[in-house]
Amino acid sequence: MSRRRGFSLAELMVALVISGIIGVALTRLVINQARFTAAQDGSMRARAGARSALNAIMYDLRQVSGGAVVGASPDSITLRVPYAFGVVCMQVSGSTVLALLPPDSALYANARASGYAWRDSTGLWIRIEPATEASASPAICAAATPPVLALSGPTRSYASAVTPNDPSTPDGAMVVVYQNIRFAFAPSVELPGRRALWRRVLSSGVTDELVAPFDSAAHFEFLVGPMLTPRMTVPASLDSITGIRAVLVATSERAPEGKSQPASFTLTSDLVFRNHGYF
């Protein structure tokens, strides 16, 4: 009867060494892959935060007109943002009654007037600020002499009364109603110890934490003149600002595995808008 020959001790030792090498290599591969995935996830979260902040700022900037900038600093910018347009019907009991184009219902329902401006015959905008707004009956506009028709949407007409009135405002003058909105980098409530981008409606005090977190390097710069020259300091005349450079340095909420600092992503965008001193 033949005897089966087993593995020698040397062969077992070689097999164990090879298995150990392969095991260490596989472990390192899995760890590196997990760290790479975590780093990519952190980077994607930071990138998404920067883009969300840019979209929020652009939404309001698209609506601004002349004299848009009320205040500015590297950490904040305050803008006059229109939310309703129309024409003057008449002056009634200290208020200016307006026939409004049908506004965006969601925007209009949440807006609170900071002021309004009317355009004179020379094209100059006259600003009345502060001011309040209340609903008015479209019948007032229909009864005006000469009549000013209330512009109609699919199912209803819109009219508004703004106070105080400007007696010099002629019937039929074009009017824009606006609210002052401030975007600012400030300490986060959702993520204590971190920074967030906030949006505050000054006339109502409504404040929203839009996006967090941001690095302390996130800031606003100011584009000045026809060449859109960027400046870190606020120009003496706010009317000279022709746009802002948003330097959005967003970060992930936590440091990825194997890293001591959160992932970050810098999105720099020049936002040009009309800001002449018309009103």
Does residue 240 have a pLDDT over 90? no
Residue 169 placed within a domain: yes
User: What is d(CA 140, CA 243) in angstroms, rounded to the nearest whole number?
Assistant: 40
Same domain, residue pair 90 and 166: yes
- Split into its structural domains, the chain has a count of 2
Residue 187 placed within a domain: yes
Same domain, residue pair 93 and 162: yes
User: What is d(CA 200, CA 215) in angstroms, rounded to the nearest whole number?
Assistant: 20
Does residue 105 have a pLDDT over 80? no
Residue 35 placed within a domain: no
Q: How is residue 118 written in tokens?
A: 């009317």
User: Which percentage of the chain shows pLDDT scores above 70?
Assistant: 91
Per-residue model confidence as pLDDT tens digits over 125-135:
888 999 999 88
**Average pLDDT value for residue range 240-254:** 92
Query: Is the pLDDT higher at 22 or at 190?
Result: 190
Same domain, residue pair 133 and 85: yes
Provide the greatest CA pair distance for the chain.
126
The β-bridge partners of 96 are: 91, 162
Same domain, residue pair 67 and 184: yes
**Residue 150 pLDDT:** 46
User: What is the extent of the structural domain holding 197?
Assistant: 40-77+180-272
Cβ atoms of 265 and 54 closer than 8 Å? no
Same domain, residue pair 164 and 200: no
Domain boundary residue among 129, 161, 179? 179
**Average pLDDT value for residue range 240-256:** 91
**Residue 260 pLDDT:** 83
Domain boundary residue among 113, 147, 179? 179
**Residue 32 pLDDT:** 78
Residue 185 — pLDDT band, cuts 50, 70, 90? very high
User: What is d(CA 144, CA 19) in angstroms, rounded to the nearest whole number?
Assistant: 94
Domain boundary residue among 160, 179, 198? 179
Residue 146 — pLDDT band, cuts 50, 70, 90? low
The β-bridge partners of 164 are: none
Same domain, residue pair 88 and 129: yes
Average pLDDT of the chain is 85
User: What is d(CA 81, CA 239) in angstroms, rounded to the nearest whole number?
Assistant: 15
Same domain, residue pair 45 and 110: no
